[in-house]
Structures are given as structure tokens and as C-alpha cells.
Structure 1
Amino acid sequence: MSVHQAILDKINSKTPGDIFFPAEFRMLGTDDAIKMALSRLVKENTIERLANGVYFIPQFHHLIGRIKPSLEMIANAIASRDHIQIKPTGMSALNKLGLSEQVPTRHVYITNGQPRTYHVAENEIHFKSASPKKLALKGPISSLIILAMDEMGQSEFDETLASKIKGLLKKEDAMLLENDMMLAPSWIAKELYSIISKFPADEMV
């Protein structure tokens, strides 16, 4: 069986929308043979290349046509492949929290892996190194708030944003929030404490 056919058979066993990488086929041939086979499958529209070394199985919807994976899905797939931890920060975190309607074209994630940038069409996925303290943030909501505020800077924090954050913090687990506030930069911890100190005792999860 040719390398092309062996790779095609393995791809056909996947689910539409799956993201995959060339390393998955290393037992089927040399790196050059795998690269050539994947390039041929892209030309045949069997698969689509998302970024350098990142592919996916085309997925179609009867109304909207081809559906591509989100940048978040791509970032998580890369992190899973590399066995690294990532957390969205900056505008990516604000957007995920619903605090900004602006859709970023540059998704930034902190990581315990190597800093790298992936170009996906007109967009970018950027992994940047971070301290263990930032990666130790645990709350699904509070960690994003802290990372977004840290990237934004104290000068950009205002009452409008504080009001929006207040509603989000009410949904966070109190123990996770306490953990994250201890790890947050001092100005962020002070602002968050000012917000939660106004909560009635029964409003925290």
C-alpha cells in the first residue's frame, strides 16, 4: 500500500471537523513522503491546511457550507499535541468572557511551552511564555479576568468594565476566586476585592 493510500485510509476514519498533524502518520512513511501525500490531499480537497503543519477534515453544513474550526479550537489542538498548558489573555480573554464585542484577529495565549506564532489565513495564534504564577490561576472566569486586566493595564480599567466584571465574578466559585486573587498582581487584586466586597454574602457561588 502506498503512503498516500495509507494516510487517506487513516484520514477516512476521522470525523469531519477533526484537526490533525503530520506526526500522526510517522509510522506510515518518511517525513517527505507524508508531506507530499498531505499536499496532494489538500489539492484534492480531501483535507484543508489551516496553518503550517496543521490540517483538518472539511466539515459541511447544508445551509452555511464549509465550517472551519475556530482559532480557539486550533490553539487547543496544538496545545494537546504538544502536551502544554495554555490560557487566553488580552483581547482573546475579554472576547471569551463577553466583555468585548471586538473579534481579535490575533489570539494570544500564555503557555508553559515554547513561544510560537501560527498564521491561520488572515489571523494569528500567538503562544507566549508566562510565569508559573499566571498558569496556576484556576478559576474558569476569574483567571480570564485577571489575565485580561493584566494585559490591558491599570490605565485602561474603568467603572464600565468593573460593572461588567461584577456580574461575572458572582458566577465564580468562591474558593477558586480566592486562590486566583492571591496570585493576581496587587492592583488587580485590589480592584477585584473592591468589587466583591460589595456582594451580599449569599451571592457568591
Structure 2
Amino acid sequence: MAGINDKILKIVRRHGRGARVYTAADFRHLGSDRAVWQALSRLTKAGKLRRLARGLYDYPRHNKLLDIQVPASADAVAAAVGAVAGDSLAAAHALGVTTAVPVRPTYLTSGQSRSRTVGNRIIDLQHAPAWLLDFKDTPAMPFVQALNWLGDNADEDVVDKLRNQMTPEIERALKNKRVPGRLREPIRMLTLAPA
């Protein structure tokens, strides 16, 4: 059994402290489900891994100044529980088209909408429509999310801000993927050459 422990530690050390949140499925290739769960339990009891919530573990970072373990990032937890992207408000904020910020981390998922409590943090997972998930592996994803969040508020100033951040890859994805009717005009405006 020590072999699985060592292999798990080798994997988490390779990624680094605080870089990821893990589930047993991340180590399924190392042995049976029971062996992996037992190894995770032993590593947690030994203080090598931290159990964040049922089925979620990390290789914690330690803040020397405060002498505490740093909480796991919301992004890492969300990725471990099946999120595919941040929410549309966060994308719009990151692109500079709004000053609004999310109150609570919300992420898109291909699964059911649900909330997950990790420590004192609640992470919301919101079901994303299939058309939006088509953009998940493209650099156009935040642009589509921002336009979706803005809705009818996507005026010429917003389009100019987004256009200044576009790349040929983003423009190609915007032109080649299907979107709902309400997004066609803002995307058409965005992909037209400025006058």
C-alpha cells in the first residue's frame, strides 16, 4: 500500500502546493478505488494532504508569515468538481466591460446546477447551455460570456472595448460557432472591421 501513497505524493508534488484540488478519480489509474481511498485517508492523517470536503483533497500551501495553511482557490475547487469555465459576469469584468464583480464564485458546468461547500466557502455550479459549451476550448469563450451577460446593453463602446482585445483565433471562433439569435448582432458588430 505504501506504493500508492508514494505515487499519489509524486503526482501532487509535481503540480506543486496549492495548484490543484484532487478527487479519487485523479488517482484511479494507480489501483482499485478502495486502495486509492485508503491511501488518501492515510496521507490526510499523516498531514501530507488536506481534506477540503468529502472527496476533495489538496496539497496545501503554508503561509509562513501568518503560520496558517492557505485556503484552496475557488478556481481549483471548481475545476475538481466539474466546472468548465467561470461565470459570465466574471468574464465581462475580466474583459473590462463592467465594474460589477461576482459576490460569490459561480462557475459553468455541463452537469446539473448545484452548490458545493468547501470549508467556509460556497461555490455555485450553474448548468451551461450546449451552445456556450461549444466555446469552452476556444479563446472566444469569455467574449461570448460577456456578450451573453450584457444582453441588450452591448452598445458600441462595449463592442469597441472587446474589439481591441480580439485576436484572429477569437474572431474565427466567433464566426464559426452557432449562437442564439440575441447574440448574432453583437457578434456581427464585433467581427466587422471598424470604420
Structure 2 gap segments, 5+ residues each: none
Please say if 1:185 is aligned against 2:175. Answer: no
Please say if 1:166 is aligned against 2:163. Answer: yes
CA RMSD of aligned residues (A): 3.7
**What is the percent sequence identity of the aligned residues?**
23
Counterpart for residue 52 of structure 2 = 50
> TM-score, normalised on structure 2?
0.68
Counterpart for residue 131 of structure 1 = 129
**CA separation in 2, counterparts of 1:77 and 1:198?**
40
Counterpart for residue 147 of structure 2 = 149
Report the alpha carbon displacement of residue 73 of structure 1 after superposing the two structures with TM.
2.5
Report the alpha carbon displacement of residue 150 of structure 1 after superposing the two structures with TM.
1.8
Counterpart for residue 73 of structure 1 = 76
Structure 1 gap segments, 5+ residues each: 80-84, 201-205
Q: Which amino acid aligns with 1:199?
A: P
Q: Which amino acid aligns with 1:163?
A: D
Q: Which amino acid aligns with 2:21?
A: I
Q: Which amino acid aligns with 1:148?
A: A
**CA separation in 1, counterparts of 2:79 and 2:148?**
22
Report the alpha carbon displacement of residue 21 of structure 1 after superposing the two structures with TM.
1.9
| CA separation of 1:148 and 1:173: change in aligned 2, threshold 3 A | closer
Task: Pick from 98, 104, 107 the counterpart of residue 106 of structure 1.
Answer: 104
**CA separation in 2, counterparts of 1:103 and 1:51?**
26
- How many aligned positions are there? 184
Q: Secondary structure at the match of 2:165?
A: helix
Report the alpha carbon displacement of residue 56 of structure 1 after superposing the two structures with TM.
0.5
Counterpart for residue 175 of structure 1 = 172
Counterpart for residue 88 of structure 1 = 86
Q: Which amino acid aligns with 1:71?
A: A
Q: Secondary structure at the match of 1:153?
A: helix
> TM-score, normalised on structure 1?
0.65
Q: Which amino acid aligns with 1:161?
A: V
Report the alpha carbon displacement of residue 57 of structure 1 after superposing the two structures with TM.
0.7
Counterpart for residue 34 of structure 2 = 27
**CA separation in 1, counterparts of 2:33 and 2:119?**
26
Contact 1:52 1:118 in 2 (8 A): no
* Moved segments of 4+, more than 4 Å: 5-11, 22-25, 61-69, 98-103
